[in-house]
Amino acid sequence: MKCQACEREVDLPFRCPYCGGGFCADHRLPENHACPRIQQARADRQGQVMQQQGYGNYSYSYVYGKDAYKKRHYISTSPKELKHLGIAAALVIGIGYSMFLYYFGFSFWSSAATLFFSVFMTASFLIHEIAHKVAAQKSGLWAEFRLTLWGSVLTFISVFLPFKMISPGAMMIGGQISNAKDMLKISIAGVITNMVLAVTFLALVFIVPVTEFTLAFAFLAYINSFMALFNLLPFGILDGYKIFMLNKKIWAAAFIPSLILVIFTGYFFFW
């Protein structure tokens, strides 16, 4: 949908809890989109400051359209989410298989190695999304994966093209984020999982005896490194934009290692 203030296309708009409008990150605050209930927003802010006895900053509540849940110690899902995850997994597995058709040829690896790579690449994508879900629900928010129409269509089309796009959907988050720390945790969770997976697969390259799966480990390390780096780019709706805006030092602390991982795994795999 389009931001109601600047009309920029936004896949995951911020929902104003006062007027109910959908806005981009730059216009999410009531003060930045000429909210008709700005006086109520200011009154709430003043009340919060008074409760804090004059200390602390005003924390805006980021709302995506669902009611907040109480903080929980378990992770919930639904049949609808499982259906969407299943379709997304099928699309990503198709991407994994097609990579070998275009880049290596099925004669280069056995069908077992091809299946192994496709399954674990799909698992990497799902773990990234689930990491966002866990972080969000631990913060008391509603979070479920949903397919997006154009993301699914483009992912499906890229199965048959040399250029690959893995974006069948995203983790939709609902509720009010009461502080920037929780939002930072949610945004960086997926990136951290990809970096951990990249290091794990790279370690397996040196630990496991050399077989046809060694190249699969190396390629998986590169794919996860690239996923982490790409998501850290400080643009648009990517995680990196939110992380960069919230804490530039943490963004740099994540971006630099992910860049090193991409260079190292890319050099190791392609050269």
Amino acid at 135: A
State the pLDDT confidence band at 215, using cuts at 50, 70 and 90.
Answer: confident
Question: What residues are paired with 93 via a beta bridge?
Answer: none
Cα 229 from Cα 259, distance rounded (Å) = 6
What confidence tens digit (pLDDT) does each residue in 38-90 have?
767 666 654 443 333 332 332 233 334 444 455 555 688 899 999 999 999 99
What is the structure's pLDDT at 203?
Answer: 94
Domains contained in the chain, number: 2
Q: Is residue 67 part of a domain?
A: no
Q: Of 14-28, 75-89, 118-132, 192-206, which gets the smallest average pLDDT?
A: 14-28
pLDDT at 47: 42
Q: Residues of 179-204 as b/e, b for ≥16 C-beta within 10 angstroms?
A: ebebbbbbbbbbbbbbbebbbebbeb
Same domain flag for 186 and 131: yes
pLDDT for 20:
77
**Which range, 24-28, 89-93, 182-186, 237-241, has the best average confidence (pLDDT)?**
89-93
Q: For residues 253 and 228, is the Cβ–Cβ distance under 8 A?
A: no
pTM reported for the whole predicted model: 0.71
Among 168, 177, 198, smallest CA distance to 59 is for 177
* Residue at 50 is within a domain: no
Tokens of 189: 């969770």
16 and 84: one domain?
Answer: no
And the tokens for 210? 């050399």
* pLDDT over 90 (residue 213): no
Does residue 252 have a pLDDT over 80? yes
Same domain, 100 and 22: no
Q: Which amino acid is at 204?
A: L
Rounded-to-integer distance, Cα 205 and Cα 228, Å: 19
Please tell me the distance from the alpha carbon of residue 128 to that of residue 126, in angstroms, as a whole number.
5
Using alpha carbons, list the distances in angstroms from residue 117 to 95, 214, 219. Answer: 11, 10, 8
Please tell me the predicted confidence (pLDDT) of residue 95: 92
Asked if 15 and 89 sit in the same domain, the reply is no
Mean pLDDT computed over every residue of the chain: 81
Domain membership of residue 31 as a residue range: 1-37
Q: Which residues pair with 169 in a beta bridge?
A: 147
Per-residue pLDDT tens over the stretch 120-166: 999 999 999 999 999 999 888 889 999 999 999 999 999 988 888 88
Q: Give the residue with greater pLDDT, 57 vs 267.
A: 267
Q: Tell me 103's DSSP state.
A: I
Structure token digits, residue 184: 């930072």
Within a domain: residue 222?
yes
3-state helix, strand, coil in the chain (%, to 5): 60, 10, 30
Q: Does the residue 63 lie in any domain?
A: no
Residues 174 and 243 in one domain: yes
- CATH number of the CATH domain containing 8: 4.10.1110.10
Cα–Cα distance measured from residue 33 to residue 29, given in angstroms and rounded to the nearest whole number: 7
| Reported confidence tier of residue 106, pLDDT bands at 50, 70, 90 | low
Q: Which range among 4-13, 95-104, 239-248 has the greatest average pLDDT?
A: 239-248
Q: What is the pLDDT of residue 31?
A: 76
Instruction: Say if residue 25 is in the same domain as residue 99.
Output: no
114 with 18, same domain?
no
Angle at CA of residue 270, ends 269 and 271, nearest 5°: 100
The percentage of residues in the chain with a pLDDT greater than 90, rounded to a whole number, is: 40
Share of the chain above pLDDT 70, in %: 82
For residue 62, being part of any structural domain is answered with no
- Regarding whether 136 and 30 lie in a shared domain, the answer is no
Q: Is the pLDDT of residue 178 over 70?
A: no
Give the pLDDT confidence score for residue 35 in this predicted structure. 76
pLDDT at site 60: 30
pLDDT score recorded for residue 12:
65
Catalogue the E-assigned strands of the chain: 14-15, 22-23, 62-63, 142-147, 169-174, 176-177
In a domain, 69, yes or no: no
